[in-house]
Structure formats: C-alpha cells, structure tokens
Amino acid sequence: MSGKTASLSAEPISAADGRSLESRAPTPWELRQIEAAPKSRNRIAADRATCALPLVLAAAVLAQYKLTPNLNDAATTDVYTCFILLLASAVLVKFVMSFFSKKTFEKLLEKAPLYTAAFLFFALYDYATIKTGILPLPYFPWPDRILNGIYEDRALLLDCIKNSLILLFSGYFAGAAIGLLTGLSAGLSRRVRYWVLPLIQILGPIPSTTWLPIILIVAASLFGGSVFLIALGVWYPVTMTSMQGVLNIPKANFEAARILGAGKARLLFRVALPAAMPNIFQGLTQGMSVACTALMVAEMMGVESGLGWYINWQRGWAEFAKMYGAVIVICVTFSVVNFLLSLVKRRVLRWQEGYWN
C-alpha cells in the first residue's frame, strides 16, 4: 500500500487524464480528486488568496505590535514577535508547498480561515490590552507577558507537566483496566451483571470529585487518594460502554467462535473485547475528559504538585500572566493526550467501516 502511495507523487493523476488510470488503481485521495467537480480559473485564484490570508493577518499583528505606541509606554519583549513569526512561518512553509503538492493545498485551504481567525484574535487582543487598555491589567495581561511568564517558569512547568501526567495516567489506566474487567464480564455474564448494575446505578450519577473531601482525610497518601479519585471517574464510563458494547455484539459472532473451538478466554479476549472496541473507545474518550477534570480538582485542592497546583499557587501571588500561561500549558498538554488517544483509536478501530476516509 505504501509503495503505491510513493509512486503516486511522481506521476499525479489529473481528472482530465483518465487514461493513466489504466495502469494502476487510484488511491483514495486521488479518487476524491477525480470525482470532484473541476474548479474554474477564478475559483482557483480565490482559493490561493484564501490560503495567503493568514500570512497577511500575521503581518498585521506584527506591524501593530512593533509599530504602534503602547499604553503608558509599557515595555515589551520580542518573545511574542518570535511566537507570531514561528506560527506565521509554519503557515508560510505550507503555503509555498501548496504550489507543488495539491494535497497540501487542499489541506491549507481547509484550515486557512481558522488560521486567519487565530491571527485576527491576536491582533484584536493586543489592541484591547497593550495598545488601548480596554481590557485592563492585571486581569488581562497581554500575550507577550503570558509568554514571558511561561518562559520564566519553564523548568517548574515541565516538572508540573510530568507530575500531572504521572498522576493522570496512573489513575486513568487503573480505572480503564478495572472498568474493562467489570464491563466485559458484566456484559458476558448475567450473574455478574446482577451485581454490577446496581453498583453502577448508585455510583454512576455521583461526580467522582464529590469524594475528594472524604479522600483527603481518609487516604493514607494524597497521591494514592487522587489516583483512586481519577480511576473512579474513568471506571464508570468505561464499565458502562464496555458492558453495552458486549451486549450489542451479534450472537452469531460468539456462535461462530464457539463452533471453531474457542474457549472461554478466547471468547473474552478475541471476540468480546475487539467486537466491543467501538463502544469501549467512547468510554475511554469520555473517561479521559472526566480524568482531566478530576486531576485538576485533586491538584487544586490537595496534591502539592502538577499544573492544577501551579495555577492555584500563582493565584496566591496574583500572577495573572502566569495563571493564563498555566491555562495554555494545560490546554496543550490535554490536547496532546487526547490526540494520542485518538491515534490509538484509529489504529485499533481501523477495521470499522468509514475509517479509511
């Protein structure tokens, strides 16, 4: 498959030139190109302009930042300049590449309005803070301050990220593993279901963070207590979805497996588990957002490390720029975690219909 894709960029297929198809089948991407209606010349020019728009806005951001006077002659650094330049050059690279690769062009065209909006936001925010003070200090620090805050505390922040991730994943994996076990066995066995269902019905509606005050007192270690808290939050959705997933599996799958000689373990791990995976991943995704919430609450209320602790600690010093910085770092961290989860999901569920497009 990858071999075919490699040869593709060497001899691109155009919609008009259907003959070159006779030698080989088109890739899914080529297929969409062939089946799409052809674009007019004006349309292509407009699309190129759309792609260039984020660059224009980026230039505007920089021009405003460097050239117009600041409120009260506030001092600024070039950290923000670098930041904007970095973003803009990433777009620029794509823009240049889009002239050579149609695929990059399509992707950039799709994303360009979003990039434009992002730069527009930066321009407006700068204007409202450092340039005019419509949004006053200290509650609304300008981006340059926030970036400098992150940069100053980078070592501490990295350490916080590490501690947060350790806590998050300890709780997440514990909760997911136990949830899978209870969910799968409840799905497979009526007797287990008899005992698990009431448990779910009682514990399910209680947000797991409700337990925090009790855990803070009862738990031998704060870390252990927080792991438990996060695990509890993940356990519920994973149990629910994996049980439902197993109950939804067509009976014929189990029958076919039994006919072919599958024993209990194989029915559990090679039939029930993979067949319920689409459902289970719903629970895992839901569980991740619950886990992130529980992590933040636990760190803000008790655990003395991590990003939640950091933001709370900075509040004590009224360091608004660093609090905003922490929010950004938290956002990026969780986005990366969720992205990784979606990669795993794509890989595991690649057998599903519709996963190829």
Partner 1 sequence: MTARAGHVSLENVTKIFARADLNSTLVALEGVSMEIRPAEFVSIVGTSGCGKSTLLRIIAGLETATFGRAYCDGELIAGTNPKRGLVFQEHSLFPWLSVRENIAFGLRATGRYRSGAGLVDALISIVGLSEFADSYPHQLSGGMRQRVSLVRALVVSPDVLLLDEPLGALDSFTRMNIQDELLKLWNEHKNTMILITHDVDEAIYLSQRIYIMSPRPGRIAGEIPLRMSYPRNRSSSEFVNVRNEILRRLDFAKEEQEEYNL
207 binds partner 1 (CB under 8 A): no
280 versus 337: smaller Cβ distance to partner 1: 280
Residue partners of 348: CB distance under 8 A and separation at least 6: 277, 281
- Among 34, 97, 181, 257, contact with partner 1 (rule: CB under 8 A): 257
Which residues 142-171 are close enough to bind partner 1 by CB under 8 A?
Answer: none
User: CB 2 → partner 1: shortest distance, Å?
Assistant: 13
The span from the CA of 88 to the CA of 58, in Å, is 6
29 versus 140: smaller Cβ distance to partner 1: 29
**Dihedral sign, CA of 65, 69, 70, 73?**
positive
The span from the CA of 270 to the CA of 266, in Å, is 5
For the window 175-194, what string marks contact with partner 1 as x by the rule CB under 8 A?
--------------------
The span from the CA of 140 to the CA of 133, in Å, is 9
Dihedral pair phi/psi, residue 206, rounded to 5°: -80, 120
The span from the CA of 96 to the CA of 289, in Å, is 37
- ∠ at Cα 323 (319, 327), nearest 5°? 170
Which residues 258-277 are close enough to bind partner 1 by CB under 8 A?
Answer: 258-263, 266, 270-271, 274-275, 277
The span from the CA of 342 to the CA of 327, in Å, is 22
User: CB 355 → partner 1: shortest distance, Å?
Assistant: 9
User: CB 82 → partner 1: shortest distance, Å?
Assistant: 47
Report the C-alpha dihedral over residues 329, 331, 333, 334, rounded to 10 degrees.
Answer: 160
127 versus 254: smaller Cβ distance to partner 1: 254
CB burial of 17-47 (b: ≥16 within 10 Å; e: otherwise) equals eeeeeeeeebeeebeebeeeeeeeeeeeeeb
For the window 316-355, what string marks contact with partner 1 as x by the rule CB under 8 A?
-----------------------------------xxx--
107 versus 266: smaller Cβ distance to partner 1: 266
User: CB 23 → partner 1: shortest distance, Å?
Assistant: 17
Count residues near partner 1 (CB under 8 A).
21
83 versus 254: smaller Cβ distance to partner 1: 254
75 binds partner 1 (CB under 8 A): no
Dihedral pair phi/psi, residue 24, rounded to 5°: -155, 160
Helix (H, G, I), strand (E, B) or coil at 255: helix
247 binds partner 1 (CB under 8 A): no
Which residues 274-313 are close enough to bind partner 1 by CB under 8 A?
Answer: 274-275, 277
Q: Which residues bind partner 1 (CB under 8 A)?
A: 250, 252-253, 255-263, 266, 270-271, 274-275, 277, 351-353
